[in-house]
Chain A
Amino acid sequence: MKICYFAWVREKVGRSEDVLDVPGHVVTVGDLMQWLKTQGAEYEAAFAQAKVIRAALDRAHVKHDAAIGSAREVAFFPPVTGG
């Protein structure tokens, strides 16, 4: 699964994307963040405040309880600040 990071999430993880094999018990976007937190100090730091992080599945906004299903691309980022 391709996982993309933006803004300070990207800086804390230390790269802009990963391609990872995710275990079967990871069902929702929230599950994925909890699992990522166990994958190393950089992920632990990036997802320490998981509540404030926003997510997208295949480039559309979703809530943390959204099922990842067959999505090809998951993205994590801070609340947006454009305009």
Chain B
Amino acid sequence: MAVRVQEADFDIAAEMKLLTRGRTDIGAIATFTGLVRGGAEGGGIAEMTLEHYPGMTEDELARVEAEAQRRFDVQATLIIHRVGALKPGDNIVLVMAASRHRKAAFEAAEFLMDYLKTRAPFWKKEQKADGTAEWVDARESDTEAERRWSSGAR
């Protein structure tokens, strides 16, 4: 189990090696990577700044990870979330879930992302190419994605 909040980029292959080092009980790893989207039309995004609540972020990510471990048969999980100034195409977030079989790995990775998006205290601000800047609004679809894990729909 590991949670990291950092300005630096991450190396997916290196993280995967670390997660499985010395272990032979893992048969499947699902990874999800979130990237900065460039945005549409002429008002595309020049830069995105990720703000967070130091201390609470780590606590909240650890709670999300513990919940995933409780719900799914996973051997190991990893969450890395970047903060600071990012450019379109840059990595933002990495989630890994390692399990004996693929189903738990896929489900745990999706669960980690759905919970992280509605609970971890991060905020995105987009700087547009035209010089304006805007805080990104929370999406109702993210809240719905989180809710379905408790609605019994799955």
Contacts and interface: CB of A to CB of B under 8 A. Distances in A.
B59 interface: yes
B102 interface: no
A80 B59 contact: no
Interface string A1-24: 000101110000000000000000
Contact of A83 (B34, B55, B60, B135): B34
B91 interface: no
A68 interface: no
A80 B51 CA distance: 10
Contacts of A59: 53, 55-56, 59-60
Contacts, number: 71
Interface in A24-83: 56, 59-61, 75, 77-83
A6 B51 CA distance: 8
The number of chain B residues touching the other chain, given as a range, is 20 to 34
B146 to A, nearest CB: 11
Interface stretch (B7-15, B39-47, B67-75, B117-125): B117-125
B61 to A, nearest CB: 9
A6 B53 CA distance: 7
Given A7-B135, A82-B52, A83-B93, A61 B119 contact: yes
A81 B51 CA distance: 10
B104 to A, nearest CB: 21
B96 interface: no
A82 B56 contact: no
Nearest to B92: A83
Given A83-B93, A83-B113, A7 B125 contact: yes
B123 A77 contact: yes
Given A60-B59, A78-B138, 20 more contacts: A4-B53, A6-B121, A6-B123, A7-B123, A56-B53, A59-B55, A60-B56, A61-B60, A77-B53, A78-B135, A80-B117, A80-B118, A80-B119, A80-B123, A81-B136, A82-B81, A82-B93, A82-B117, A82-B123, A83-B113
